[in-house]
Structure 1
């Protein structure tokens, strides 16, 4: 079971985060997915189907939690909508463009493997871990940890360049 958790937790996190859940909600969904496996493991007839079962369970739970969360957010947004600005200001556009340029310049300083991995993660809603593993010649289980190391390197480059980041630590 420990090996299954080690191999499947990174892909489950990716699946769940693809539904737009924040870190706290995503953490709850992944934990609920593992708890559901513990409670319902006897319903899985084919041991080779466990990863698919976990993924399906995570998707369903992420969809359910996301739907509930969006419903709550929609009610709040409806009350705030008349007070929100209609267009982004020129200053906001310029700041966003500068931030994007600085980010991709920093990505360009990373090794090729990190650049490729981060581009896949950044531009694909639901990257296929099997394909990533094959393309980058790495085990599926090392994709998550490698991504984390690459992001840490990127963060260090950005912080060295005076990048402030946002207030919630992302």
Structure 2
């Protein structure tokens, strides 16, 4: 009986949905689907409507009104939230954790390396001349010293970086 009702109503629903859908800004297929769901809910709760064609026309118009209300009330984002250039809380937390790991690893370096890399990572952005004066070494030896310290840091962080990656 349900199959016969659906088969009998299909052409009417297609025509009604096509006529109403363009006014709502939706696709006729979406409107049809919403009405089929309403019909199934109606069949489960109360059985078939006494006048199925009349019920179907009313259901199509009700769904079309609902669609128009939705279009008036919902406003699209200017851009997708995922496309926002600003970092979200998750990215900020991960960056803070990485920064903390980096600072902790710099503190474990040998010799002058912690002081040199702290100076290089300083938000004040000192020049090589200022760093050399602060550390009491020649400006010419900063490059090789920096290179040696970064190599030590790279070796120190290699197990942590390798463990954090997903493999497979």
| TM-score bin (small chain) | 0.3 to 0.5
Between 1 and 2, higher relative CO (CA 8 Å, sep ≥ 6) is seen in 1
Bigger radius of gyration, 1 or 2? 2
Q: TM-score, structure 2 length as denominator?
A: 0.43
Q: TM-score, structure 1 length as denominator?
A: 0.42
